[in-house]
Amino acid sequence: MPTIIVIGGGPAGTFAAISAKKQNPAADVILLTQEHCEPYEKPPLSKAVLLGQAAPTDALIAGPGGVASHGVVLETRAEGMAIERAAATVVLRDGRRLHYDTLVIATGSSPRQIPQLPLGAPGVHYLRTESDARHLRQELRSGQSLLVIGGGLIGLEVAAAAATFGVRVTVIEVAPRILARVCDEQTSAAVHRAHARHGVDIRVATTIASTELQPDGRIAAITGTGDRLTADFVVVGTGSKPDDALAAAAGLAVDDGIIVDGQCQTSDPRIFAAGDAVRFPGPEGLLRLENWRHAQDQGMVAGKNAAGATDTYLTVPSFWSEQYDLYIQGVGWPARSATQVHRPLGGDSMLVFDVSDGRLVYAMGINAQRDLAAARRLIERRVPVDPGALADPGQAMTAMLKRG
């Protein structure tokens, strides 16, 4: 009976473990997580959890029965410290040594720290785990002013939750506009306006030169232009970096992420990897994605292949974000050379498409879930599209699928 070990209890690791067991029910599948609890979903941490609408562990990745209900053995507080490839062994922090026949690494990513506001400094928060979310929620209840560093998805979700509670929020973004990495200008502007309506002060093209802890316990940030911004607490949302140190120390190929091929195999044929920690072949070379669906889908392929399948991971990436009453979504591969087509929807809804060579390659919208679900299928099936029809809200997106 083969033993398949999976390191990392996020969506990539959890789905890898479940899929490995499904692929080979006779295998012993062990999921190692360094956290103290059953694997839980991260997206609610910056949304429903901060708003007090859900507890961090309400949404279990493996469903209400947990990982065990899928026949997988879960080991909590089990940090993988080393992978000894010659002996096919994972060494845990507590000294135990576990033999594997195949291994999946799904160690995820951690927040990028900024030197002026290191993790652990008083009043400074980074958001990644359920414990981070619990601490931040407490702070939202008692603090009156918040400084958010980074106008990306997580920073803005925290800003929205805080503003909803009546906390005075300032967001500092180094780029000339918020969400520059994921949204077109029009969508960024719509999100910016929503924050302004809720009283959030967003300062774009702004850097932090230095910070000071004031005698009253508040934090002062001095911007590149000399402005002094003070707040009761700070949330840093400046992106994340892959947790690839374990793989690198084991001598696997790593370059800003664990390098895998289309079948999620690392440079060692017995070791697979998936999720935020991984760089994999995309349409224009190796890339890393940090979103939930990618982690889940790639985890499934890695787990199946670790159990003997030879599936190839093909993806149409997507992300979503919830801020106030805005449900922001993107799907596909943004292309620099594409033509942009706007579909006027009215009210708070927006939809913009990137069309390249007569095909839809990317779609991004606000409060347009149904159209975006159709857009995903148009992209996946590579259906030829008519830009005129895309721009006309009178023409149903689902009807366009019939051309495929």
Ligand X SMILES: Cc1cc2nc3c(=O)[nH]c(=O)nc-3n(C[C@H](O)[C@H](O)[C@H](O)COP(=O)(O)OP(=O)(O)OC[C@H]3O[C@@H](n4cnc5c(N)ncnc54)[C@H](O)[C@@H]3O)c2cc1C
Please report, as ranges, the residues that interact with ligand X according to CB under 6 A: 7-13, 32-35, 42-43, 45-46, 79-80, 106-109, 127-128, 154, 243, 246, 275-277, 290-293, 295, 319-321
> What distance in Å separates the CA atoms of residue 42 and residue 74, rounded to the nearest whole number?
18
Question: Whole-angstrom distance between the N-terminal and C-terminal Cα of the chain?
Answer: 45
Q: To the nearest whole angstrom, how small is the minimum distance from the Cβ of residue 79 to ligand X?
A: 4
Q: To the nearest whole angstrom, how small is the minimum distance from the Cβ of residue 84 to ligand X?
A: 14
Angle CA 204–208–209, to nearest 5: 140
Query: Whose Cβ is closer to ligand X: residue 36's or residue 228's?
Result: 36
Q: To the nearest whole angstrom, how small is the minimum distance from the Cβ of residue 374 to ligand X?
A: 19
Query: Whose Cβ is closer to ligand X: residue 53's or residue 339's?
Result: 53
> What distance in Å separates the CA atoms of residue 135 and residue 231, rounded to the nearest whole number?
17
Closest listed residue to residue 306, CA positions, set 68, 39, 6? 6
Q: Is 233 helix (H, G, I), strand (E, B) or coil?
A: strand
Q: Is 287 helix (H, G, I), strand (E, B) or coil?
A: strand
Q: To the nearest whole angstrom, how small is the minimum distance from the Cβ of residue 237 to ligand X?
A: 9
393's CB contacts (< 8 A; 6+ apart) are 343, 344, 345, 346
Closest listed residue to residue 128, CA positions, set 40, 3, 1? 40
Query: Whose Cβ is closer to ligand X: residue 302's or residue 355's?
Result: 302
Q: To the nearest whole angstrom, how small is the minimum distance from the Cβ of residue 209 to ligand X?
A: 27
Q: To the nearest whole angstrom, how small is the minimum distance from the Cβ of residue 129 to ligand X?
A: 7
Query: Whose Cβ is closer to ligand X: residue 43's or residue 332's?
Result: 43
Query: Whose Cβ is closer to ligand X: residue 36's or residue 402's?
Result: 36
> What distance in Å separates the CA atoms of residue 55 and residue 133, rounded to the nearest whole number?
9
Query: Whose Cβ is closer to ligand X: residue 109's or residue 305's?
Result: 109
